[in-house]
Each structure stands twice: as C-alpha cells, then as structure tokens.
Amino acid sequence: MEFRKARLAALLAAAVIAGCSTTTPTRTTVYEQPSAAKVGTAPTALSAARSQLATMKTDARIGAALQWAEHYLDQQRPGDAGQLLADLNPQAMDNEQRFTWILLSGRAQLGDQRPDDALALLQRHEDDILQYPAEQQAGLDLLKADALAMKGDLTGSLQQRVATHPLLEDEDQDYNHGMIWQLLMQLSSSELADAIEDSRGDLLGWLTLAQLYRDPIADLDAQVSRLNQWSAQWRTHPATDDVPDMLDALEKAVSERPSKVAILLPATGPLKNAGKALQEGIMTAYYRHKQDGNPPVLRFYDSGGDDILALYQQAVQDGADFILGPLAKDKAATIANQGTLPVTTLALNYIDQGELPENFFQFGLAPEDEARQIALQGAREGASQAGILYPEGEWGERVAQAFAQEWQSLGGTVTVTRTYQEGPTLGDTVKELLLVAQSQSRGQAVSRFTSLDMDIQPRRRQDMGFLFLLANPNQGRQVKPALNFHYAKDLPVYSTALVHSGESNPRRDQDLNGVRFVDMPWMLSNEDSQLRRMSNEQWPEGHGRYERLFAMGIDAYRLQSRVFLLSTLPSSELPGVTGRLSMKQQRIVRELNWGVFINGEARALPKVAEPANNSRTREITAQ
C-alpha cells in the first residue's frame, strides 16, 4: 500500500480543513447483516431513506440504517450519514451493531470536520469499547488517532498509533506504519525535538529515526553513521525493516555527492535582482552547512549573457561535477537540448519539454504547481464543484488552466470561470460569477403571481464547493469584500501564494479574512532555527518581493547533495524551506503549507489529518 504525504489544516474558528489523505482499515468499517436481513441500495435522498426506515421493525431498521449510512459515507455525504445514525438508539443494538454504529458515527463526525465530537463519542462509549475484541478496539483507536490529528495534535495522534500498532493485524499494521511516517514527516523541527524529550519506548524510536532522516543540513556521512547507530540501538523496533533501504540510498548518495559546484546565476541583465536573492540564499545555506560538515567548493558564473552553452562548458572545464542553474527558462531549455550532459545539472526553472537528459533535473517556484495542490486539496475534502476567478492575461490563463485540468482529472466539475480586471467593474464581475442578479429577478417574477409573502432576497448560486481565486494582495482585497457583499461570505476561497505579500499589514488585510492559501514554510513559519537567525542577522529587512527566491536559494543549495537520493529512493523527500520536496519525473515537486487570513494576519494552519471516510481520497492516494 502506498501512502502519499499530504497537508491538511483546521481553519481554527471555522473548523474547515485543508487536508492530507488517510484511510482506516476497511475490514473494521463494514457491518455485514445476516443474509436473511439484507436490504436494498440506499435511497438517493435522505428524506426517502428516513421514510423507509420509519416503516421497518427495530432490528431491520438498525441494519438498514447502518448499511445506508456507510453508503453515504462512501459517497462523501457525512452529514446525511450522521443523521441516519443519530436517529438510532445504540442501547437497542447488539454488540456488533453498536460497534459499527460507534465507528460509523465517528467517521461521519470526522467527515463533517468535528473531531471534538468524535473524541467525545469515543469517551462516552469507553466502557462498551473495552468489551470488544482487541482488533475492534484497535480500529476505534485508529479513529481516535485521526480525530487527534484533525485537531492538530500530531504528537497525540502518533502516541495513539504507536500504542495501537502491536494489536493490529498485518494489513492494518502496514496502513498504520505508513500513517505514523506521514505524521512524523509533518511535525515541525521544534515539535519533533520537543516530542523526543517527552517520549520513550517505540515512540522515541520513531521520533529519533525521523529526526535523523529528515535533517536537511546534516552531512551525508553523519547521517549514515547515525542511521547505523539507530539500527544497533533499536534492533526490535517496528521500523527496523525500513532502515536498510534508507542506508543503501544514503551510502550511494555519499558516493555521488559533488565536490565542486558551479552556480550559473544572472549577475547582470533583467534577472539580476532575482539572481542576487538566490545567491544570498545559497550562501546562507552554505555557511550553515559549514558549521556542521564539509561543504563542496562553490563557484559562481554570471549567466546574464547570451552564450549559455559556452558558460556551461567553461564551468565543466573548471572541474565542476555538479551545475546549479541557469535561472532563465530559455537558457535551461538550451542546455537540456544538448542531449547527454557531462555533469548532473539542476536547472532553477521548469521547461516545457518532453524527453530530458537523464542527469538533467528541474527546480523552481511554479504557480501552476500551487494551483494543482489546491485542486487536490478540494478533492480530498470531498468537494465536487468549483469556480475559477482569475485576472485577464496569458499568465492568469495558464495558472487557471493548470487548476482546471488537475481538478477535472480528479473527477471535479468546473461550474463557472470568469476573468476580471482591477477597478470599478470588479464588483460586477463577482456578481455575475455568483448569478445574484438572476436569483433576484426570478424571485421578483414569482412574487407577481401569488398573494403569499415571498422571500425574494437575492441569493448566490449554490453549485460551487469552493472558489479558486488567483489574485495578488491588492486584487484579493477587492474580490473578497465583493464576495461577502454578494451573499458569498460562507463560500470557501482558496488561493495561491500570490495573495500573501509576506509582510504584516493587518489594517489592509482585514479584507482578506477567511481566504485560505498555500505558501512555503519560510513565509508562514516563525520557527526559531539557526538558519532563520543567520538570515535575520545578515538581512534584517528581508528581501521584499524576492524573499521566496532567497528561500529557493537555500533549498537549491541543499538539493545539490540530495538530487541522487531523491531520484533513486521513491519515498525520499527533503523538508525544505520552500516546501516538502520530492522528485517526480526529474522535476522537484513542492508540497506547500496552508495559511489563512484571520483578523488581517496571515496565520499558518495546524497540520491535521483528514476524515477517514473519504473513498475518493483513497482512490486519489492510490494513483
């Protein structure tokens, strides 16, 4: 079973999630009725289901309600499932029915993003749960672990999963093993360090393994040594079987790491400011590495000129065994078109090209990737319909198209797409997007033909689970108030990092309240790391609009020693400052964090776990 890492988040006051894929073992979620008591397929409408159930005798009604509730859960209808389950009296059930009722009720509550209710449910029925066989208790323990993660208590969820692990059967242990690793990858460095101080037993083993595996700055030799030490110390640990693959990959990465790195960045020309921010990020990571290990020799070349091939060949002749850059897309494509390259090359941009040299890799900050992550997030939350609002122009068209293609590939429907221009017409565009005028005119037309009091208040369209908004801060400050004014204050709005300036401006950003967005950890986290302190001391004013490129420079330096590892070990990743980095088809893929505007401030959302009832997520995760 493959477990993809993903991020989710609880929207503090609103309890809305942006999430990660989790599933519970299927064998503990199915209630099998006696064959003589089988019922038909669940009615499509909840009202019809409740009407049919009302005509049944008690035992048949319980069996049918449990089966139909599970069917609704599989269709991402946790609210309907919860209502069927709430109509039942658990005291009228036998032990097997009551177990299924507890499990399905908890799944429905998690599907509605109500982890506190799920935890309260498990607490109320604690005495009943203790009477069940160990396997069934373990299934409910995993439900509790999901609820804790959804609340943002990743450490508590880990503790629950580790304690439950020995009680699970082999297949469920595979699932739980993967989920433990996901949670470990989602903990921040400070959370991981704090948990290590407070833990013991198998949990401590998991935590220390994750810490040494995740360390992005550690010298590779040191990581190999520490991994061998971990294996000797934790011979009987459940994760021991994973270590040989890690060791083998790390040892190969040691043999492949570069000793001389050539860095092709523009010091002149239109991209020189971007090149300067990247260079400063690279050097910050270099000096941080120098404190703990043996960094490679770096040599910078100005790629602002016209002949990128001559510059590339000069770097090779100078002894470079790894080349970082160039930044310009056309120059990266020129190098890729040369066929087999003499040294491994990591371009600092993405190019539109099919077949690439096997030692040519790409890393950049593509907004299209952010759009795709938002689409995947919407699918994981169970949404099926989305709207798109983006600025006129080729750039907006390209990013909106990336979202739409990903969304449709996941089975979603784009119900409306609109472009906009900043200025006085933007409010009208939002009104048109929401079909408010049509709603109002229909209500007025109906009122002419009746003497009854009619509610003719205008309403927005209801065929959008969320709105994908592509906007910079100024544009977003116009769009969100317009949405609120036109009866769409409750419509979830997801945006790319573009909407987040990175600078605190509570007075102006009040107008962005409620907007959720993806952004790199460097822009959302205030974690007091040595790297952050070095950056603040050297550049106390930051890098303004180039701050994300500075962060990209940090990760670009780290990647020069990790490209081999990422390309040869499919499960390998680098917890970077620009996101969680992994490799897909010679392309570094970033998984970003989630943030939300509250009281005019951009706040990082806690990392939590997704309800375990989302079968659509299971399908997506398995792809």
> Residue 356 is part of a domain; what is its CATH number?
3.40.50.2300
* 8 A C-beta contact, residue 560 and residue 322: yes
Are residue 265 and residue 323 in the same domain, yes or no? yes
pLDDT for the residue numbered 225: 83
Cβ count within 10 A of residue 526: 7
The answer as to whether 498 is a domain residue is yes
pLDDT for the residue numbered 547: 96
Using 50, 70 and 90 to split pLDDT, how confident is the model at 607? low
Are residue 224 and residue 172 in the same domain, yes or no? no
* 8 A C-beta contact, residue 595 and residue 500: yes
Q: DSSP letters along 287-314, please? A: HHHHHHS-PPEEEEEE--SS-HHHHHHH
Q: Does the pLDDT of residue 35 top 70, yes or no?
A: no
Are residue 222 and residue 324 in the same domain, yes or no? no
Q: Does the pLDDT of residue 197 top 80, yes or no?
A: yes
Are residue 360 and residue 414 in the same domain, yes or no? no
What is the distance of C-alpha 475 from the center of its chain? Answer: 25
Using 50, 70 and 90 to split pLDDT, how confident is the model at 424? confident
Q: Does the pLDDT of residue 26 top 60, yes or no?
A: no
d(C-alpha 65, C-alpha 514), whole Å: 37
Higher-pLDDT residue of 189 and 375 is: 375
Q: What is the mean pLDDT of residues 437-455?
A: 42
pLDDT for the residue numbered 559: 94
pLDDT tens profile 256-312 = 889 999 999 999 999 999 999 999 999 999 998 888 778 999 999 999 999 999 999
Are residue 385 and residue 490 in the same domain, yes or no? yes
The last residue of one of the domains, among 255, 274, 289, is 255
Are residue 34 and residue 84 in the same domain, yes or no? yes
Cβ count within 10 A of residue 120: 13
The last residue of one of the domains, among 211, 232, 255, is 255
Q: Quick one: DSSP state of residue 607?
A: B
Task: Respond yes or no on whether the N-terminal peptide bond of residue 326 is cis (omega within 30° of 0).
Answer: yes
What is the distance of C-alpha 273 from the center of its chain? Answer: 31
Q: What is the mean pLDDT of residues 229-241?
A: 88
Using 50, 70 and 90 to split pLDDT, how confident is the model at 182? confident
pLDDT for the residue numbered 390: 95
Using 50, 70 and 90 to split pLDDT, how confident is the model at 41? confident
pLDDT for the residue numbered 28: 40
Q: Does the pLDDT of residue 23 top 80, yes or no?
A: no
pLDDT for the residue numbered 38: 57
d(C-alpha 328, C-alpha 264), whole Å: 10
Q: Does the pLDDT of residue 1 top 80, yes or no?
A: no
pLDDT for the residue numbered 518: 96
The answer as to whether 598 is a domain residue is no
Q: Does the pLDDT of residue 7 top 50, yes or no?
A: no
**Lowest mean pLDDT across 82-86, 204-208, 346-350, 560-564:** 560-564
Q: What is the mean pLDDT of residues 400-426?
A: 92
Are residue 103 and residue 121 in the same domain, yes or no? yes
pLDDT tens profile 94-151 = 989 999 999 999 999 988 878 999 999 999 999 989 889 888 888 899 999 999 988 8
Q: Does the pLDDT of residue 578 top 90, yes or no?
A: yes
The answer as to whether 298 is a domain residue is yes
pLDDT for the residue numbered 250: 78
pLDDT for the residue numbered 217: 59
Q: Does the pLDDT of residue 5 top 80, yes or no?
A: no
Are residue 381 and residue 465 in the same domain, yes or no? yes
* Distances 546 to 117, 324, 469, 541, 550 between C-alpha atoms, Å: 44, 19, 22, 12, 6
Higher-pLDDT residue of 452 and 497 is: 497
Q: What is the mean pLDDT of residues 80-103?
A: 92
The answer as to whether 276 is a domain residue is yes
Using 50, 70 and 90 to split pLDDT, how confident is the model at 355? confident
The last residue of one of the domains, among 166, 187, 208, is 187
Using 50, 70 and 90 to split pLDDT, how confident is the model at 365? very high
pLDDT for the residue numbered 171: 78
Q: What is the mean pLDDT of residues 88-93?
A: 91
Tokens 């995947």 — which residue? 376
pLDDT for the residue numbered 66: 93
pLDDT for the residue numbered 174: 81
Q: Which domain holds residue 502?
A: 368-447+454-519
pLDDT for the residue numbered 490: 86
Q: Quick one: DSSP state of residue 9?
A: B
d(C-alpha 154, C-alpha 156), whole Å: 5
Are residue 251 and residue 270 in the same domain, yes or no? no
Q: Please, what is the average pLDDT of the chain?
A: 83
d(C-alpha 495, C-alpha 517), whole Å: 5
Q: What percent of the chain is modeled with pLDDT above 90?
A: 51
d(C-alpha 324, C-alpha 281), whole Å: 13
Using 50, 70 and 90 to split pLDDT, how confident is the model at 184? confident
Q: Does the pLDDT of residue 163 top 50, yes or no?
A: yes
Q: What is the mean pLDDT of residues 152-170?
A: 88
pTM: 0.70
Q: Considering its fold, how many domains does the chain have in total?
A: 4
The answer as to whether 146 is a domain residue is yes
Using 50, 70 and 90 to split pLDDT, how confident is the model at 458? low
The answer as to whether 330 is a domain residue is yes
Checking DSSP bridges between strand 587-591 and strand 593-598, what pairing results, if any? unpaired
The answer as to whether 591 is a domain residue is no
d(C-alpha 403, C-alpha 406), whole Å: 5
Are residue 148 and residue 64 in the same domain, yes or no? yes
pLDDT for the residue numbered 183: 86
Q: What is the mean pLDDT of residues 530-553?
A: 92
pLDDT tens profile 487-541 = 888 899 999 999 999 999 999 999 999 999 999 999 998 776 788 899 999 998 8
Q: Does the pLDDT of residue 453 top 60, yes or no?
A: no
pLDDT for the residue numbered 606: 62
d(C-alpha 111, C-alpha 74), whole Å: 10
pLDDT for the residue numbered 76: 80
pLDDT for the residue numbered 329: 95
Are residue 34 and residue 141 in the same domain, yes or no? yes
**CATH code of 62's domain:** 1.25.40.10
The answer as to whether 28 is a domain residue is yes
pLDDT for the residue numbered 283: 96
Higher-pLDDT residue of 584 and 265 is: 265
Using 50, 70 and 90 to split pLDDT, how confident is the model at 459? low
Are residue 155 and residue 165 in the same domain, yes or no? yes
Q: What percent of the chain is modeled with pLDDT above 70?
A: 85
Q: Does the pLDDT of residue 432 top 80, yes or no?
A: yes
Size of the chain in residues = 623
**Residue 133, token pair as written in the block:** 């066989």
Q: At residue 44, what are phi and psi to the nearest 5 degrees?
A: -65, -45
